[in-house]
């Protein structure tokens, strides 16, 4: 609250009458508070929140700028990890950003092409994480394919709602909004890999924490995301200059894939969190549905790289190993 009051003081001191703030849930709440401060002071300030979050967790939006490009990165990263895992079989665990919403982790499924491709298992914060069930899933998958690729959200939690990562970390960093920082270390990947090694007896187990690369990788930008990020900013200016209300710009999908933009009341968005809809998550809770694939595919943009396989042509043995 205090830093929001300081923002308003600066705006007022410089006689600024239009305030645009880009970000996610917490940023929308900042705009709401600044807007209230201006109203209490009787100051003519138009406050507009512009959506941007790779978590894709803003309510009232079909999706948010930043998410499509980050999802494109995650899909391609897992497509590559799958090829590596197929060449050198074992278990691979990739931890993806997503505190409460699993959209970005679920995007890993778009890296699959063939039925036996990974990720074979996907764990989202929308479902309770049970370590024993996780180990059983990995064991069964490894027995079936002789390898296993796993996508895990950083926000997976136990039955009490406590994030698994926060239960493991020795020192917890808290941001200005009271959120535990989950992306600053590889504790979750390390724990899961250690459990697989020790309890399943699988020797080759590797883990990665994607961290900040997935939200800032300039070489992997969705052209759809790039276009909409500019358009949503343009709409924000239009709403501010020609409208009479403060609010949050929202992207609405129309048709198979086109979008329109609306201005939502700040209180309808601020501080709220959208999570993945049940129709996007498989009954097993370890995969996504075709509805999610249809939802995400047009957002990834054009020119997605493809993975191919050589056809197998078995050759009869010439040498007899027994001789």
Q: Which CATH number covers residue 22?
A: 3.40.50.450
CA distance 218 to 72: 11
Map residue 298 onto helix, strand or coil: helix
122 beta partners: 151
CB-based contact 211:181 (threshold 8 Å): no
Task: Evaluate whether residue 290 is within a structural domain.
Answer: yes
User: Do 148 and 92 share a structural domain?
Assistant: yes
- pLDDT value, residue 215: 86
* Strands lying side by side in the sheet with 258-264: 18-23, 46-51, 247-254, 258-264
Task: Evaluate whether residue 308 is within a structural domain.
Answer: no
pTM over 0.75: yes
The residue behind tokens 């894709």 is: 56
* pLDDT per residue as tens digits for the range 210-250: 988 888 899 999 999 999 999 999 999 999 999 999 999 99
Rounded to 10 degrees, the C-alpha dihedral 130/135/141/147 comes to 130
State the CATH number of the domain containing residue 190.
3.40.50.460
User: Do 201 and 58 share a structural domain?
Assistant: no
User: Do 216 and 79 share a structural domain?
Assistant: yes
User: Do 213 and 228 share a structural domain?
Assistant: no
Q: Which domain holds residue 227?
A: 2-63+221-269
The residue behind tokens 């300039």 is: 218
204's tokens? 């080759």
Residue 23, phi-psi category: left (phi > 0), alpha (psi -120 to 50), beta (remainder): left
- pLDDT value, residue 80: 96
How far from chain centre, in Å, is Cα 316?
48
User: Do 104 and 234 share a structural domain?
Assistant: no
- pLDDT value, residue 293: 97
- pLDDT value, residue 183: 56
* pLDDT per residue as tens digits for the range 262-284: 999 999 999 899 999 999 999 99
CB-based contact 86:147 (threshold 8 Å): yes
- Largest Cα separation within the chain, whole Å, is 95
Checking if the pLDDT of 23 tops 80, the result is yes
State the pairing for strand pair 247-254/258-264. Answer: antiparallel
Domain count, the chain: 2
Residues belonging to the active site: 55
User: Do 185 and 213 share a structural domain?
Assistant: yes
User: Do 54 and 197 share a structural domain?
Assistant: no
254 beta partners: 258
Percent of the chain with pLDDT over 90: 80
């Amino acid at each position: 609250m205090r830093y929001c009051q300081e923002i308003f003081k600066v705006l007022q001191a410089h006689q600024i009458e239009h305030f645009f703030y880009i970000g996610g849930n917490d940023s929308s709440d900042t705009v709401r508070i600044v807007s209230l401060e201006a109203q209490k002071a009787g100051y003519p300030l138009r406050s507009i929140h512009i959506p941007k979050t790779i978590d894709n967790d803003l309510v009232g939006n079909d999706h948010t700028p930043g998410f499509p490009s980050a999802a494109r990165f995650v899909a391609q990263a897992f497509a590559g990890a799958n090829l590596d895992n197929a060449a050198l079989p074992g278990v691979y665990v990739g931890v993806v950003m997503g505190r409460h919403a699993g959209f970005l982790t679920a995007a890993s499924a778009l890296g699959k092409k063939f039925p036996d491709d990974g990720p074979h298992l996907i764990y989202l914060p929308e479902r309770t994480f049970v370590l024993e069930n996780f180990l059983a899933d990995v064991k069964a998958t490894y027995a079936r394919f002789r390898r296993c690729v796993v996508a895990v959200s950083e926000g997976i939690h136990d039955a009490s709602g406590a994030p698994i990562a926060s239960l493991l970390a020795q020192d917890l960093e808290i941001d200005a909004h009271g959120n535990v920082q989950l992306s600053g270390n590889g504790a979750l990947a390390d724990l899961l890999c250690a459990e697989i090694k020790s309890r399943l007896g699988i020797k080759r187990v590797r883990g990665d924490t994607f961290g900040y690369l997935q939200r800032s990788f300039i070489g992997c930008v969705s052209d759809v995301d790039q276009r909409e990020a500019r358009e949503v900013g343009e709409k924000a200016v239009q709403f501010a200059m020609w409208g009479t209300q403060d609010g949050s710009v929202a992207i609405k999908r129309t048709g198979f894939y086109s979008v329109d933009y609306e201005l939502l009341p700040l209180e309808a968005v601020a501080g709220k969190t959208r999570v993945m809809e049940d129709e996007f998550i498989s009954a097993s809770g370890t995969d996504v549905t075709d509805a999610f694939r249809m939802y995400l595919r047009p957002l990834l943009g054009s020119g997605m790289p493809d993975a191919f396989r050589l056809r197998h042509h078995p050759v009869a043995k010439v040498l007899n190993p027994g001789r």
